């Protein structure tokens, strides 16, 4: 910000010096007449008109860029939301995978316990009876 202020002051000093050294009148023919104005004033008016024309021509481009930037920011926000949702889903899926990977070891231990044969009881025959 201070650099801009210093640059502006230097530019203003140069403009004042230019106006002082170019004070001789010049004749300007424009539209309906001839005008006698100092050279510095005519150059200043020409620069201001050039800046206005430049601004008018660049305004649509600047508006289009702002509109595109606004749309890009909106899209980035949507993508960040999607990413965070998918990150949560991924964490849940990884947790479920870990739980499912633990189940086979638990199932093996329960199958090993139930796979051991029980001794036959006297109340129930081993072989089925046929009628």
Query: What secondary structure does DSSP assign to 68-127, as a single string?
Result: HHHHHHHHHHHHHHHHHHHHHHHHHHHHHHHHHHHHHHHHHHHHHHHHSPPPPPSSS-SS
Q: What is the mean pLDDT of the chain?
A: 83
On the question of pLDDT at 113 being above 60, the answer is no
The CA distance from 13 to 6, in Å, is: 11
Q: Which tens digit of pLDDT belongs to each residue from 24-64?
A: 888 888 888 888 988 888 888 888 898 899 999 999 999 99
Q: How confident is the model at residue 125 (pLDDT cuts 50, 70, 90)?
A: low
Reported pTM: 0.47
């Amino acid at each position: 910000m201070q650099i801009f202020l210093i640059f502006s002051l230097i530019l203003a000093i140069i403009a004042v010096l230019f106006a002082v050294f170019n004070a001789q009148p010049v004749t300007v023919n424009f539209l309906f007449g001839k005008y006698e104005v100092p050279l510095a004033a005519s150059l200043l008016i020409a620069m201001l008109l050039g800046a206005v024309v430049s601004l008018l021509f660049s305004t649509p481009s600047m508006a289009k860029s702002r509109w595109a930037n606004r749309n890009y920011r909106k899209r980035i926000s949507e993508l960040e939301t999607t990413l965070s949702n998918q990150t949560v889903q991924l964490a849940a899926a990884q947790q479920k995978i870990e739980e499912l990977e633990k189940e086979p070891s638990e199932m093996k231990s329960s199958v090993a316990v139930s796979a051991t044969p029980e001794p036959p009881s006297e109340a129930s025959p081993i072989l089925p009876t046929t009628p």
